[in-house]
Amino acid sequence: MSLPLLVTGTIGIDTILTPGGRADGVLGGSVSFAAVAALLFADRVDAVSIIGEDFPAHYEAALEAKGVCMKGVERKKGPSFAWTGEYFDNMNKRRTVCANDAVMLEWNVHVPEPLRNHPVLVCCCMVPAQQLKCMEQCPDAALVLSDSMDKWLRRQPELLDAVISRSHITMMNEDEAKEYAQASTVMEAGEFLLSKGAAYAVVKQGEYGATLLGRDAGGNLRIFRCPAYPLKTLVDPTGAGDTFLGALAGYLSTLPPGLPPFEEVKRGIVYGTVAASFTCESFSADALLSMTKETFRRRLEEYAEMCRLPDIRLSSASAC
Amino acid sequence: MSLPLLVTGTIGIDTILTPGGRADGVLGGSVSFAAVAALLFADRVDAVSIIGEDFPAHYEAALEAKGVCMKGVERKKGPSFAWTGEYFDNMNKRRTVCANDAVMLEWNVHVPEPLRNHPVLVCCCMVPAQQLKCMEQCPDAALVLSDSMDKWLRRQPELLDAVISRSHITMMNEDEAKEYAQASTVMEAGEFLLSKGAAYAVVKQGEYGATLLGRDAGGNLRIFRCPAYPLKTLVDPTGAGDTFLGALAGYLSTLPPGLPPFEEVKRGIVYGTVAASFTCESFSADALLSMTKETFRRRLEEYAEMCRLPDIRLSSASAC
């Protein structure tokens, strides 16, 4: 039995261009990836978001078939959130070609009453004011996770500060965290996120993995470095960060309520890392949707073998 | 007791510009870093290189004081190898401002007779033709390690191929390996290096660590992902890759002669990673030269704690 988990953010339609191909009008949005990934572990995941009247019924059906409860998703006249992105440089950089986000910007967040006392709240990347509204409407959440992106740290840094201060676990991409912190290293950026009030900060490093920072009871910094699963072919990294967040939150929802210990967050980050690798293997959420618990488990074992540190036997080395 | 180890490559004078400062006329060259790092483990390290008449006596004394045997280093009239480099973008990119490398380009490599039967040969980054000459003059080397850089893969790809085919362990920076392999992922680039004939390929990923690839007896790919030690302040990464190579080779020289098993190469890579973090903490080799076995051991333990994977307990997670 896991704790009920609420995932809020965007659900939309993506068009993705990469050096190797393109996908038009495919399922996208932070909630789509995070909710499916959370269901690797969680028994119940409720999505809270907004879609337009053009949202394809088969995408909604695909999410529901995976177990995502869509009752908290509002329907509105007009178009759904739509994002077109282009990747360059071996997929390390991307730009937004265009974004039709009127439906998201105008959304007056309303969490349905029956979902307001969910103990785990996942605020995926969206407008910080809406993340805050969601947090206010779910005052009983004993564990709040949040993600954000460069756009909001440039436009609404104070609101982003507030989101982070109300999060137990917050995450940001490396470049964005460095910009936010005006820092040149991951360590400085991560400590800055912690200084904003989160108990744990995760700096997402794309194909290089993630770095988790927290503090022990004495205030000492604790760090976990988690490499990514190395794919031979990278098709489309869109949604990898959302998948990572969702799987982490899903795992943590299986633990007793409240702030998880560092070791459990580490474990969740390993699960998130491996889940995200599936997302990168296809356009949209195709590979994530077809991932099974068995394919996930097998890759996890392979990953653990790749990253297992050897015993450090300094005493046996001649000179040390 | 370790096996005698020969380190060949450049010894020179660097001028380094970074966003945070500069250092003029400081000790540089691949051998300077690699030889000192190797002495963390090895009892005997012989340097084979060439310097000009202007090479500061106190730098030579500093290397000798650490235990580097300089008898194999030729002296020539004219200036020493001198490199001026500038770092940008949070140290992720650099350019060569100027290089006075006449002494290196004209060097007719001659390994002194008493050093020719050393069982471990480390060919640090330099002209591939000279790396090959060194390999030919040391036919008894049961373990050959090599490193290279973009300049040589553009100018002398066939000679670089030959260097790699004669190496047991070869390494290259990620961007360079991708260019060499015309690959978009680390995995493709690493497999390409293996296809050239090395038993182990190491793709160096700078602040993100390194990825080791090899094959088991059945030809199946084996992979080890090793994150870097996360520094809060990065002063100057010059020489980090050489330090990494040197410490790896030094550790392997403590093992029985011949090709080391995968698990031992992993261990050497962890040692190399931690040693390289010291190099990044100062301009030139200052921090590396003042590192002791005790400071190294302490950071190694800290590193192992940061990178230790949690137990993967999928059976206890509710849904898996």
**What does pLDDT average to in each consecutive run of 10 residues of chain A (320 residues)?**
96 95 97 98 97 97 97 96 91 87 94 97 95 97 93 88 97 95 96 97 96 95 97 95 98 96 97 98 97 96 95 58
Mean pLDDT across the stretch B252-262? 96
- DSSP annotation of B124 reads -
Does residue A314 lie within any of the structural domains? no
| Planar angle of CA A259, A30, A212, nearest 5 degrees | 40
Angle between helices B186-195 and B174-181 (to 10 degrees): 60
User: Is residue A91 within 8 angstroms of chain B, CB to CB?
Assistant: yes
Does residue B317 lie within any of the structural domains? no
Nearest to A230 among B42, B225, B318 (CB): B225
Does residue B318 lie within any of the structural domains? no
Question: What total of structural domains would you count in chain B?
Answer: 1
User: Is residue B209 within 8 angstroms of chain A, CB to CB?
Assistant: yes
Cβ pair A188:B232 closer than 8 A: yes
Q: What are phi and psi of B21, to 5 degrees?
A: 170, -170
Q: What is the CATH number of the domain that holds A150?
A: 3.40.1190.20
Mean pLDDT across the stretch B86-100? 87
Q: Which two tokens stand for residue B5?
A: 């180890």
Mean pLDDT for all residues in chain B: 94
Query: Measured between alpha carbons, how far is A82 from A25 in angstroms, rounded to an integer?
Result: 8
Query: ipTM of this model?
Result: 0.92
Does residue A312 lie within any of the structural domains? no
Cβ pair B270:A234 closer than 8 A: no
Q: What pLDDT, on the 0 to 100 scale, is given for residue A316?
A: 42
Chain B residues 256-315 with a CB less than 8 Å from chain A: 263-264, 266-267, 270, 293, 296-297, 300-301, 304, 306-314
Does residue A320 lie within any of the structural domains? no
C-alpha distance from A152 to closest chain B C-alpha (Å): 22
Q: Which residues of A touch B296 (CB under 8 A)?
A: 320
Nearest to A208 among B43, B208, B307 (CB): B208
Does residue B129 surpass a pLDDT of 70? yes
Q: What is the rounded (10 degree) CA torsion for A256, A260, A261, A264?
A: 90
Q: What pLDDT, on the 0 to 100 scale, is given for residue A29?
A: 97
Q: Which two tokens stand for residue A224?
A: 């976990």
Does residue A212 lie within any of the structural domains? yes
Does residue B92 surpass a pLDDT of 80? no
Domain around B80:
5-307
Cβ pair B317:A226 closer than 8 A: no
Q: What pLDDT, on the 0 to 100 scale, is given for residue B261?
A: 97
Q: Strand locations in B116-159, DSSP E?
A: 120-123, 143-147
Cβ pair B270:A300 closer than 8 A: no
Query: Measured between alpha carbons, how far is B3 from B118 in angstroms, rounded to an integer?
Result: 8
Query: Measured between alpha carbons, how far is A220 from A185 in angstroms, rounded to an integer?
Result: 19
CB A171 within 8 A of CB A151: no
Q: What pLDDT, on the 0 to 100 scale, is given for residue A149?
A: 84
User: Is residue B77 within 8 angstroms of chain A, CB to CB?
Assistant: no
In order of A34, B104, B218, the CA distances from A202 in angstroms are 16, 46, 39
Q: What pLDDT, on the 0 to 100 scale, is given for residue A315?
A: 56
Q: What pLDDT, on the 0 to 100 scale, is given for residue B130?
A: 96
Does residue B185 lie within any of the structural domains? yes
In order of A62, B169, B172, B201, the CA distances from B165 in angstroms are 50, 10, 14, 11
> Regarding predicted confidence, which is higher, B80 or A311?
B80
Does residue A34 lie within any of the structural domains? yes
CB B151 within 8 A of CB B34: no
Share of chain B above pLDDT 90, in %: 90
CB A125 within 8 A of CB A55: no
Q: Compute how many other C-beta atoms are within 10 angstroms of the C-beta atom of residue B70.
A: 18
- DSSP annotation of B212 reads E
C-alpha distance from A131 to closest chain B C-alpha (Å): 28
Half-sphere exposure of B219 (CA within 13 A, CB side): 1
Q: Compute how many other C-beta atoms are within 10 angstroms of the C-beta atom of residue B305.
A: 12
Mean pLDDT across the stretch B210-220? 95
Query: Measured between alpha carbons, how far is B253 from B38 in angstroms, rounded to an integer?
Result: 9
C-alpha distance from A185 to closest chain B C-alpha (Å): 6
Q: What pLDDT, on the 0 to 100 scale, is given for residue B315?
A: 55
Q: What pLDDT, on the 0 to 100 scale, is given for residue A312?
A: 85
C-alpha distance from B297 to closest chain A C-alpha (Å): 8
